[in-house]
Structure 1
């Protein structure tokens, strides 16, 4: 779905300019997204398999929920919205633990450039997995995996996971370990 998003300046601050997400990707304009890692009290992490028809990284396993921040929207509100849209789980601001940001620029092809500032959250909430409902336009499958097994899988099975980069995964996994291991 195309939507209006805020364009950021080089410091990662909203510049006052907006454009369609498709235009930002076509021109490589710096914009923001949210990544939410969801796990329960038993350290089961939800991961999603990206839909087969996604422009980038189709059929690869990824963060529990991710999405673009709409123009004028705050990152935490975007996170709550994206979680509900992609997997049908209702959460509140109090369920979100902000851990930081990650900057990433990937040139997928000449007219598809991801230039994003990811706002990263951990959401520790008990959920009924069978009640979750995926947004089939974005996600083909979800499953849970023990945190320790996820860390091992990302390190050893790089071809099955979105290549966010070693620094990104190290940062997220270190934060998860500090909180939950």
Structure 2
């Protein structure tokens, strides 16, 4: 779905211009996204399998919830909205813990360039997995995977089934979640 988004400079500052998401991807203009990683108190991470119709990385496993921040939309409002849309979970902004902003530059093709700043959050999943409702147009499947199995799978280059984020991104996510689990 195309939508109007704010355009940023390469340092992540607002340029006070907007464009359609498709135009930003075509031209390699920086913009903002939200990533929300959900984890359970017993050490599992919720993963989303990208829809088979996605332009990039179809059917690969990825962050629990992700999406573009609409033009003029607050980061937290976008995060809460995306969680509701993609997995049918109602959360409040106070459930989210921001752990960083990650710059990502991916040139998928001449006409598809993802130049993004991922505003990244973690949150404990307190709702039963069976109560989640995936958005069929965006999400092929959902699964819970133990942190131990996730780390093992990320290191298995012969059978890699995940969106290829930078390893430092994954390390930060896993460290932050592990820190929360160790304090429970």
Where in structure 2 are there 5+ consecutive unaligned residues? none
> Partner residue of 1:69?
69
The separation in 2 between residues aligned to 1:13 and 1:133, in whole angstroms, is 35
After TM superposition, which residue ranges in structure 1, 4 or more long, deviate above 4 angstroms? none
The alpha-carbon deviation at position 9 of structure 1 amounts to 1.6
1:45 and 1:147 in contact (8 A); partners too: yes
Q: Hey, what's the Cα distance between the residues in 2 that align with 1:78 and 1:154?
A: 28
TM-aligned CA deviation for residue 43 of structure 1: 2.1
Matched residue, 2:149: 149
Contact 1:49/1:60 (<8 A) preserved:
yes
Structure 1 residue runs without a partner (length 5+): none
Whether 1:127 aligns to 2:127 is yes
What residue number does 2:176 align with?
Answer: 175
Equivalent-residue separation in structure 2 for 1:99 and 1:58 (angstroms) = 27
1:77-116 equivalent positions in 2, closer than 5 A: 77-116=77-116
Segment drifting more, 152-161 vs 102-111: 152-161
- Give the TM-score taking structure 2 as reference length: 0.94
